[in-house]
Structure 1
Amino acid sequence: MKTVTPRSSLSGAILLAKFELKKILFSTRGLVALAAFALVWFLILWYPVKHASVYLFSPDFKQLLSALFGESSVSELFSWKVAEMAILWVAALYLFPLFSIFVTADQFASDKTRGTFRFLTLRANRDTLFFGRVAGYLFIQAILLAFTLFATLLLIAYRDPNLLPSAVGSSLFIFVNIMIVLLPYTALMAILSLYANSARQATIYAILLLAGISIVNGIINYYLPSLSAVLQWIVPGAQLSMMINTHGFSSLPIAAIPLIQAAILLLLGRTYMARIAI
């Protein structure tokens, strides 16, 4: 049997990533998902983001955010130079992980159901298949995020072209940080889609798992608060409330949390992929 070299593994992973992108763009299911994504973000951009300059400096809006996240947790948010980017930052932090659960739920589930999993493993080793799929779905999410940021920049240019230089800098900050946030969610869904028999089942597993861990952590926090402070970092997205009050390089220490989570989940996923029966 021909040995797969690291170089061929890398090129195989890139080919798989391109294939996943084409599958989303040219399949009915993928186009429906993209249409739903576009509709939701159109509403977000057209209402709260478009009128961000009014909302962000409104005393009622400041009071609402302070009540939700704590006054000290959102003080940095009101110092953003471009209000639209500040509102987009909050929306993206919480909505893109939710989208990620639905978008990445079918990394392997359909292949198991259709019986094409064995066919794929005959043409690429399991590491190539696993990391290629994860990379492909990350690439898809990167494109969706880039389009969202580009649409926001168009709104800002329409309101005040002089804000564009600051807005572009903020958009780069948002893009890098949101992609880091999405890493553990994508890795988690890769594992769940290996276990589940359908994308819907993988999504249900993810919701039950994340909700269950959060409930258990809340109970532990009530009885053993010192232990809860450690356990809460196990859950992807535990750092989101802390990230709201960051901008620029101040988010780098917090970014280490999802990177560590993603590394652990990818290692677990690779191990499970190597042992699963086809």
Structure 2
Amino acid sequence: MDTSLLLIEKNDGIALLTINSPKTLNALNSTVLSELEGALYELDRDDAVKVVVLTGAGDKAFVAGADIKEMAAMNAFEGQQFGLKGQRVMLTMEKMRKPVIAAVNGYALGGGLELALACDFIYASEKARLGFPEVTLGIIPGFGGTQNLARRIGSARASELIFSGRMIEASKACTWGIVNEVFAPEELLAKAMETAAAIAAVGTLGVAYAKNAIVNGLNMGKEDGFRYEASLFGVLFATEDQKEGMGAFVEKRQAVFKGK
């Protein structure tokens, strides 16, 4: 699927999804959000896709934020609806069975950082700059940023970044736990694809259930999370993938998973 605003390349179980509007630094307007929501839905339904890598076109930005020109004319109701639209995209990504890796190649600000935080984890270029500048525009993050950042790094660090409106370098974002690893710009996408390939090679159902346990478990108390994990753990023993994976281990051969 290729569109003017999104590019999708599929190969060996990996879908590379690129937000393709470099002239606007890949800003998220209503059209981009709608196309992104539809693309994520279709990728989740595509059994040939095991993992998604999300990045931005060009070498300046992953996504530099939501479209300020579009937002400037909104009233209170329209602003709320725009926020809810962005949140639907983030929740679609979080609820996907397939893992999503963010390859942050430049600015990830406002809605761009919210998009990266909705991915399962983030790899960043040394050139990347991350932040929530919304308070400098008289608003707050509206696509789930206040919730996802606080859950990832704690309320104190999240408050510092959101209240100040400042950008931080990729190295600090890594130290704070926002970013998993930082790479040279020319290595970033290759490293993301390398990890994606490792994920695509293992049991599809196992990965999907592990994501389910992590994402949903974060919204539970610890004991409830343990019970939820155990229920998913047990269900997997009724699958072909579990029989194949353990059988292959015992027989000392490479497992061939079918996602069943």
TM-score (norm 2): 0.28
Bigger RCO (CA 8 Å, 6+ sep): 1
Flag the structure with larger Rg.
Answer: 1
**Structure with greater proportional helix content:** 1
